[in-house]
Chains A and B, each alone.
Chain A
Amino acid sequence: MTLVAERRDMVVAHDLAPVVVKPKPKERVQGKLGYKWDRLWLTYWFRALVQVWMPLLALLLAVYGGWQSPAVSGWVAAQYQAVRDTVAARPELTVERVDIPVGSPDLQRQILGIMALELPVSVLDADLAALRETVEGLAAIKSASVRFEQGVLAVTIVERMPAMVWRNLNRIYLLDEDGVRVAEVPRRMVRADLSLVVGQGADEAMLEAREIFSVVAPLGRRVLGLVRMGERRWDVVLKNTVVMLPAENGPDAMRRVMQMQAERKVLDVDATIIDMRDENRVILRLNEDAQIAMQAARARLNGEGV
C-alpha cells in the first residue's frame, strides 16, 4: 500500500510506452574507391568533360554518322517530305484562285499566262518569291507583290506608265519615265499625246530628255521631238529649226536658247540650225532666203560706205 502511494507522486520522465531500442541502421561507410570517385567527380575539369564535352561530342558524332549513312539520311528526308506533304494538303493552304485587282484585262491575261499556275495548288508548292520575280519580269510592270490570303493569291501590281514614244531603227516603242520599254506600237500617232524621242541610245538618257522637254514646254506645238545624236547629245527638232545641244549640260544650253528667244526671238529668225555645242558662242546657220537678204544688206551697207 505504501509502495503504491510512493509511486503516485513520482514523475515519470517518459510517457508510459516502453522505450523501444531499435537497432541502429548500420552507417554506410564509403569505400576508398567511392571516395576517390567522388573527389574526381568534384574536380572541375572532369565534371566539365563528362557533363558538357562528352555529350556534345556524342551528339556531333551521331549527327555526322546519320548524315553519312544513306539509310538514315534517306529515312529523315522521307519523314520530312511526308510531314511537309501532309501540311501542304491542308485546305487552308490551297490557292483557289488568283486575284489581280489592278491592270487592264489584257495585262491580267498576260500575268496569268506567265505565272502558269495549275489551280488549285498548295501555297507551299507555289514559290511566291519566284512568282513575284516572274511577274516583275514583264515589261509593263514596275513592281508587284504576291500575297496569299484565305485561299486567294492576290497579285498587286504597279504598271509602268508610258511617258514617251521612241522611234528607233524603224520600230516605235513606248518608254516609261525611266526609259524602260513598256510596249511596241505600230504607229507614232497611236499615242500622239506623248512626246517623241528618236535615235539610238535615246532610252538611256531619259532623265535629260525629260528635263529638256520641260524646258521647251512653252514652245508648245513647235516642238517636234528630240533626236539622240551619236548616243551622246541631243538635237531639239522644232518646226523650221534644229537646236544642237552639247553633250554636257544640254538642258542648260536649251535654257539659254529659251532666254535668247524671250529677249531676241532667236527661234523666229530664219535659221535652219542653232548650234549651241560651243558654249562660248552661238552659231546660226541661216537658210537660203536669209543668206541672200543678209548679203544684200551687207552689199548695201558696203556701197553706202564706199
Chain B
Amino acid sequence: MNDLFETQREMRHRRAAAVKRGVMAVLDVGSYKISCIVMQFSGEDAADTPDVTMPQMGSFRVVGVGTVRSKGVKFGEIVDMSETERAIRSAVAKAQKMAGLRVDHVMVSLAGGRPRSYGLTGEVEVEQGEVTERDIGRVLASCEVPPFGQEREAIHALPVNFNLDHKSGLSDPRGQVGAKLSVDMHMLTLADAPVYDLLECVQRCDLEVAGLSFSGFASGVSTLMENEQQLGAAIVDLGGGSTAISVFMRKHMIYGDAVRLGGDHITNDICQGLHLGYEDAERIKTLHGGLLATGSDSRVEIEVPNPMAQWENDRRTVTRSELIGVMRPRVEEILEEVRARLDASGFDGLPSQRIVLTGGTSAIPGIEDLANRILGGKVRIGRPLRVQGLPQVSAGAGFSAAVGLALHASHPMDECWDFEMPVDRMGTRRLKAAMRWFKQNW
C-alpha cells in the first residue's frame, strides 16, 4: 500500500505544480488520432465566471488544440516508438503554435494496456470517537492490495465509499462519530510496458508528464452528466484501436476495462470485404457508413475509388447495404464484447443503468439503435462538455477523452491523498518523519 500511496501523492503534487504554473497540456494518445489541448488556468474561481454549467468549467481556458493522425499506435498501445514520438511532437507543436505558448507539462491518457479493476477494502478502529484526517489516512493505508503482478502498474486508486459503523455511502466521514471506519476503494492497473513506452515517448518530446490516466475515466469525466455520475452510468469510449469502458457511481469510477476492438477493425473489414485501400475504406466508412439497412439503401450506389481505373467504364460501385453488411457484424461484435464486460462488472446492480457511447466510432449512424438492442435500453451518444475556448471541430465525440483530461486536471477529485500517511505504516521512513518533526518544531 505504501508505494501506491506515495505514487498517487506524487502524481497529485506534480499536477498541482503544473496547474500553479498556469499553462498545461493534455495529450490523448489514441490509435486513430493524437490530440493535444493546451489550457491556460485563469486562477479565478469557477463560481465567478458566468455561463458556467459545471463547477469545473470556468477555471481554465483552452488556448490551443492540435490533432494529428496517430502513427505507430495499435490497440491504444505503442508499437513504433519513433513514429509515435514524431506524431506526438507534431500534435504538441500544432497546439503550441495555436496557443502561442510553450508547454512543459502534459497529462497523458491512453486506452490500451489491458486495464484491470480491483475493489479494495480497509478497516480500522477510530482512534478518538470522532473521525479525523489521521483516521482517514490510516484507513486508506490499511487497504490490502491484491497481488496484481510485477508487470502491472496502478494508475487510478480512489476511495469510492466510506462506512462508519452502520452508516454507508459516506463520501467524507471527517468529524462524524463512530467506532469502526472502513473504506471501499477502486484501483485500476495497467500493464506497465505500454505505460512506460508512452511516458518515454512523451519525455523524448522534452515534455514532463504531470499525470497519467485511463481514457475511459477521462471520457466519463467529460461526457457523463452529474446525475449520471451520481446514480451510476457506463461510458463506452469507442476509439480507433480499442474501446474503453468505465462505470461511474457516486461520482467515482468503480470499474474500468477495455475491449481491444475499435473503428480500425471496421475499416479493416471494409478493406477486405470491398477490396479497397485503407484510406479509401476509412473515407467510405465516414461518409456513407451505417448500421441499419433500409430498403432504399440497396438502391444507393456508392462510387468506390479505383486506383487502377484507366477508362471511364472502369468504375466500381457498391451499394450502401453492402457496406452496412460489412460494418454491422463488427460493430455488433464490439458491442457484445462490451456487454460481456459490463455484465462481469456487476453493472446490472446499479440504481441507474445509463450507457453513454462516445469516441470517434460512436458517430456511425444507427449505432444508438444497435447499442440499445445489444446493451439493453437507455443508451445515448455523449459529447464532451462545453469548455471555454475549445473550437467546434474539437468538440465532437472523438475528443471526449482529451476534454475529460482537461477537466480532471482543473478539478481533480483525489484530495484524499493529501492526508498524512500514518507513521506506524511508514516502516523505514520513521526516522525521516522524526527529522521532519524536528525541522518543523525547532
Q: Which residues of A contact B (CB under 8 A)?
A: 9-14, 18-21, 24, 27, 29-30, 32, 35-36, 38-39, 42-44
A-chain residues with CB within 8 Å of residue B260 when the two chains form the complex: none
A38 close to B93 (CB less than 8 A): yes
Interface of A is mostly: loop
* A103 and B4 alpha carbons, distance in the complex (Å): 106
Show 15 A/B contacts (Cβ-Cβ < 8 Å), sorted by A: A11-B296, A12-B301, A13-B301, A13-B303, A18-B309, A18-B312, A18-B315, A19-B304, A19-B305, A21-B307, A27-B69, A30-B93, A35-B89, A38-B97, A42-B101
Chain B positions 293 through 310: 1 when the CB is less than 8 Å from some CB of chain A, otherwise 0: 000100111111111010
Q: Tell me the bound Cα distance from A44 to B306 in angstroms.
A: 51
Given contacts A18-B303, A38-B97, contact A12 B280 (CB under 8 A): no
- In the complex, A21 Cα to B97 Cα: how many Å? 31
B317 at the A interface (CB under 8 A): yes
Contact B299 A11 (CB under 8 A): yes
Q: How far is the CA of A175 from the CA of B93 in the complex (A)?
A: 88
Is B205 an interface residue when CB atoms closer than 8 A count as contact? yes
Q: Are A9 and B299 in contact (CB under 8 A)?
A: yes
Contact of B302 among A9, A13, A27, A38 (CB under 8 A): A13
A19 proximity list for chain B (CB < 8 A)? 303-306, 315
Taking the nearest CB of chain A, how far is it from the CB of B85, in angstroms?
Answer: 9
Known contacts A38-B96, A42-B96: A11-B300 contact under CB 8 Å? yes
Contact of B102 among A9, A13, A30, A42 (CB under 8 A): A42
Q: How far is the CA of A252 from the CA of B96 in the complex (A)?
A: 90
Over the window 384-425 of chain B, the binary record of Cβ atoms lying under 8 Å from chain A Cβ atoms (1 yes, 0 no) is 000000000000000000000000000000000000000000
**CA separation between A96 and B97, bound complex, in Å?**
67
Q: Which residue of B lies closest to A46 (CB)?
A: B102
Taking a contact as CB atoms under 8 Å apart, the answer to whether B302 and A14 are in contact is yes
Residues of B within 8 A of A13 (CB): 288, 300-303, 320
Q: With A29-B86, A42-B100, A43-B102 as known contacts, state yes or no: A14 contacts B93, CB within 8 Å.
A: no
- The B interface, classified by DSSP as helix, strand, loop or mixed, is mixed
In the complex with contacts A13-B320, A30-B90, A30-B93, A39-B299 CB distance below 8 A: no
Interface residues of B toward A: which range?
Answer: 20 to 34
Residues of B within 8 A of A39 (CB): 96, 102, 206
Docked Cα-Cα span, A199 to B313, in Å, equals 132
Closest 4 CB pairs of A and B: A42-B102, A14-B303, A19-B305, A21-B305
Contact, CB under 8 Å: B305 / A35: no
Please determine whether A24 and B279 come into contact, CB atoms closer than 8 angstroms: yes
Shortest C-beta distance, A303 to chain B (Å), equals 118
Contact B205–A35 (Cβ < 8 Å): yes
A76 to B320, CA, bound (A): 80
Residues of B near A10 (CB, < 8 A) are 299, 301
**Pairwise interchain contact B301-A29, C-beta atoms closer than 8 A:** no
- Nearest chain B CB to A4 CB, angstrom units: 15
Q: What is the bound-complex CA distance between A11 and B321, given in angstroms?
A: 13
Option from A21, A30, A42 in Cβ contact (under 8 Å) with B280? A21
Residues of A within 8 A of B280 (CB): 21
Binding site for A on B (CB under 8 A): 68-69, 86, 89-90, 92-93, 96-97, 100-102, 205-206, 279-280, 288, 296, 299-307, 309, 312, 314-315, 317, 320
Give Cα A149 to B152, complex, Å.
95
A267 to B259, CA, bound (A): 134
By beta carbon, the residue of chain B nearest A18 is: B315
CB closest chain-B residue, reference A12: B301
A27 to B410: give the CA distance in the assembly, Å: 33
How far in angstroms is the closest Cβ of chain B from A63?
Answer: 32
* Extra 14 A-B pairs, beta carbons < 8 Å, given A13-B303, A21-B306, A38-B93: A11-B296, A12-B317, A13-B301, A13-B302, A18-B303, A19-B303, A19-B305, A21-B280, A21-B305, A27-B68, A32-B89, A35-B206, A38-B96, A43-B102
CB distance from B10 to the nearest CB of A (A): 25
Q: In the complex, what residues of B have CB within 8 A of residue A24's CB?
A: 279
Given contacts A29-B86, A35-B205, A11 and B305 within 8 Å (CB-CB): no
- Are the C-beta atoms of A11 and B301 separated by less than 8 Å? yes
Residues on the B chain within 8 Å of A18, using CB? 303, 309, 312, 314-315
Contacts of B279 in A (CB 8 A): 24
Tell me the smallest distance from the CB of A244 to a CB of chain B, in Å: 88
C-alpha gap A294/B93 in the complex (Å): 124
- Alpha-carbon separation in the docked complex, A209 to B140 (Å): 106
State A44–B104 Cα separation when bound (angstroms). Answer: 13
Q: How far is the CA of A250 from the CA of B10 in the complex (A)?
A: 97
Question: Given the complex of chains A and B, what is the CA–CA distance between A169 and B304 in angstroms?
Answer: 127
Q: Using Cβ atoms and an 8 Å threshold, which residues of chain A touch B317?
A: 12
The smallest beta-carbon distance between A50 and chain B, in angstroms, is 14
- From residue B298, how far is it (CB to closest CB) to chain A in Å? 9
Minimal beta-carbon separation of A38 from chain B (angstroms): 6
B206 near A36 (CB under 8 angstroms)?
yes
Instruction: Tell me if B89 and A30 are in contact (CB < 8 A).
Output: yes
Q: Give the docked Cα–Cα distance between A21 and B276 (Å).
A: 12
- CB contacts (< 8 Å) of A36 on chain B: these are 206
Docked Cα-Cα span, A29 to B206, in Å, equals 17
Q: Which A residues are in CB contact (< 8 Å) with B205?
A: 35
Shortest A8–chain B CB gap in Å is 11
A9 CA / B319 CA spacing, docked (Å): 13
Closest Cβ of chain A to B278, distance in Å, is: 12
Residues in B with CB closer than 8 Å to A38 are: 93, 96-97
Report B-chain residues with C-beta under 8 Å of the C-beta of A30.
86, 89-90, 93
Give the nearest-CB partner of B86 in chain A. A29
Q: Collect the chain B residues with CB atoms within 8 Å of residue A27's CB.
A: 68-69, 90
Instruction: List the B side residues contacting A14 at CB < 8 Å.
Output: 302-303
Q: Which chain A residue shows the least CB distance to B319?
A: A10
Please indicate which of the listed interface residues B92, B93, B279, B280 has the most CB atoms of chain A within 10 Å of its own CB: B93
Which chain A positions have C-beta within 8 A of B303?
12-14, 18-19
Chain B residue at minimal CB-CB distance from A29: B86
Which of A9, A12, A30, A35 is packed against the most chain B CB atoms within 10 Å? A35
Q: How long is the Cα–Cα vector from A244 to B301 in the complex, in angstroms?
A: 134
Find out whether the CB atom of A35 lies under 8 angstroms from the CB atom of B93. yes
B94 to chain A, nearest CB (A): 9
CA distance A253 to B300 in the complex (A): 128
In the complex, chain B residues whose CB is within 8 Å of the CB of A20: 305
* Residue on A nearest B89 in the bound complex, by CB: A35
Chain B contacts for A29, CB-based, 8 A: 86, 90
Q: How far is the CA of A13 from the CA of B302 in the complex (A)?
A: 5
CA distance A42 to B86 in the complex (A): 19
Shortest Cβ distance from residue B91 to the other chain A in the assembled complex, whole angstroms: 11
Contact partners of A12 in chain B: CB under 8 A: 301, 303, 317
Residues of A within 8 A of B309 (CB): 18
Query: In the complex, which residues of chain B have a beta carbon less than 8 angstroms from the beta carbon of A44?
Result: 102
* Cα of A272 to Cα of B317 in the assembled complex, Å: 145
